[in-house]
Amino acid sequence: MLTRREFIRTAALFALAPRILAEREREVWVNDVHSQLNRTRVRELLVPRTRDELAEIVRSASQKGLPISISGCRHSMGGQQFAADSICVDTRSLGRVISFDQERGLIEVEAGIQWPELIRTYLDAQRDNAKQWGIAQKQTGADTFTLGGSLSSNVHGRGLEMKPLISNIESFTLINADGKSIRCSRDENNELFRLAIGGYGLFGLIGSVTLWLVPRQKLRRIVEIIRAGDLPKRFEERIAENFLYGDFQFSVDEKSPDFLQRGVFSCYQPIDKHEPIVAKKELRDDDWLDLLRLSYTDREKAFQRYSDYYLSTSGQTYWSDTSQLSAYLPNYAKKLRDQIGGEESSLIITEIYVPRDALSNFLAEAAELLHSNRTIVIYGTVRLIEKDDESFLAWAKQPYACVIFNLLTVHTPGGIEASARSFRGLIDLAIARGGSYYLTYHKFAKPEQVMACYPQFKQFLDLKRKYDPAERFQSDWYRYYRKLFASS
């Protein structure tokens, strides 16, 4: 979502320039949405409305020898979507559905489209059909993600037996450093297909994406409160019973023995297509903010409220795609500060991967670590992922349990370092168990942790320069790792 200032600026620019819109006179600052800790000054913010304009931006930047950074909805938190003094391309106006093959369940969309618009469009197109298609997975926790940003981070949802998003991608078009649009798939330009998915915008501008849809299904949510020690077994049992989606939201009450040890286990089971969809209770943005406020102020009560709410929805029925939509308020940090005061702060996420049989033991040690570091966890979840055997910078190196922590981070050097220290501690616990972590959320990992988890990183950077020798596509994230690996 554009900030009010950006919106006014962009609207004015739309009026002034019929094609490419640029801010040339004043300083342009951009930031990530969730942590608000990546404030960056860019040379220009361009809002192209067509894929031809995208190509024109690349050609023009090449002529001027300027770097380009690419941003979608700005949810990454490691500076992947911005580069200081670059031309920053905001892709969100490229939001159309290009074609929908209802025979094969293939949908081609512009890369700036966000999940709600994609879902709305295909639902409208097949309203009266007996057999309908839907997305297999999207991120949980928010909806305002672009498809381009989702591909570039190779995201995942809460599927119980799913690989990351690459498994749902048929092809995409990429505007390369020469300004040419090329098609990448498993059969064409395969190396680029494997590099750009999960490649954080370093190989070109994704213009369009063709996504495999899956048959939409009706599902029943079944909720129970269980202990983390039973989780691996319960996940297995749910999979054996053909449940499709599920996660475990753990207690974040650090004063309780249940801290990371007890949680709300919600899973989704296919039901007969004739059953009605009945989901009377749902979490709206305000309810979500209320729960978040409780997590800041009274984590015991927050878990109780969350558990009661979820248990009360057990048995409700949903569609497989729309059940993945989530409430989220982009300005949650400010709203909470207005309500409860305190220092400027926000949440930084981390996602840690551990072999599934090491999950309980990891959670127990993670609880000790977070205790001793006095770290406040505002919410956290466990999900599953299957091995990704396609993308170059694959994070799902084996079937893992994925543990997500949202840490309260005070916006002071000390506050940020405190969260970074806990993230590094959690990564060490994962590495000790053959696990890993997600590159999307921060770049706090120590160099040796990056190399242990992503031994292919140096080769990834070499391949970036093979495809983009002039380093047209850059980000602060890229610059950081370029320097790190140059000195290693």
Ligand X SMILES: Cc1cc2nc3c(=O)[nH]c(=O)nc-3n(C[C@H](O)[C@H](O)[C@H](O)COP(=O)(O)OP(=O)(O)OC[C@H]3O[C@@H](n4cnc5c(N)ncnc54)[C@H](O)[C@@H]3O)c2cc1C
Decide whether 273 or 387 has the Cβ nearer to ligand X. Answer: 387
Q: Which of 67, 179, 201, 425 binds ligand X (CB under 6 A)?
A: 201
Q: Which of 132, 139, 436, 449 binds ligand X (CB under 6 A)?
A: 139
Q: Which of 21, 206, 260, 407 binds ligand X (CB under 6 A)?
A: 206
91 binds ligand X (CB under 6 A): yes
Of 74-82, 218-226, 304-312, 366-374, which segment contacts ligand X by CB under 6 A? 74-82
205 binds ligand X (CB under 6 A): yes
Residue type, 241: E
391 binds ligand X (CB under 6 A): no
Cα gap 80→66, rounded to integer Å: 17
Cα gap 411→227, rounded to integer Å: 34
Q: How far is the CB of 329 from ligand X (least distance, A)?
A: 10
Tokens found for residue 446: 């120590």
DSSP per-residue codes, 173-216: EEE-TTS-EEEEESSSSHHHHHHHTTSTT-S-EEEEEEEE-EE-
Q: Which of residues 33-72 bind ligand X (CB under 6 A)?
A: 34, 70-72
Decide whether 143 or 258 has the Cβ nearer to ligand X. Answer: 143
What are the Cα distances from residue 407, in Å, to 49, 279, 371, 379? Answer: 36, 31, 13, 8
Cα gap 368→260, rounded to integer Å: 10
Burial class (CB in 10 A: 0-12, 13-18, 19+), 213: buried
Q: Which of 36, 152, 167, 422 binds ligand X (CB under 6 A)?
A: 152
Q: Could you tell me which residues come within 8 angstroms of residue 334 by beta carbon, excluding any fewer than 6 positions away?
A: none
Q: Which of 105, 134, 141, 232 binds ligand X (CB under 6 A)?
A: 141
End-to-end C-alpha distance for the chain, whole angstroms: 38
177 binds ligand X (CB under 6 A): no
Decide whether 205 or 382 has the Cβ nearer to ligand X. Answer: 205
Residue type, 122: Y
Q: Which of 146, 217, 251, 269 binds ligand X (CB under 6 A)?
A: 146
Decide whether 34 or 472 has the Cβ nearer to ligand X. Answer: 34
Are the C-beta atoms of residues 367 and 259 closer than 8 Å to each other? yes
Q: Give the binding site for ligand X (CB under 6 A).
A: 34, 70-76, 80-81, 91, 111, 139-142, 145-146, 148-150, 152-153, 155-156, 200-201, 205-206, 328, 440, 475
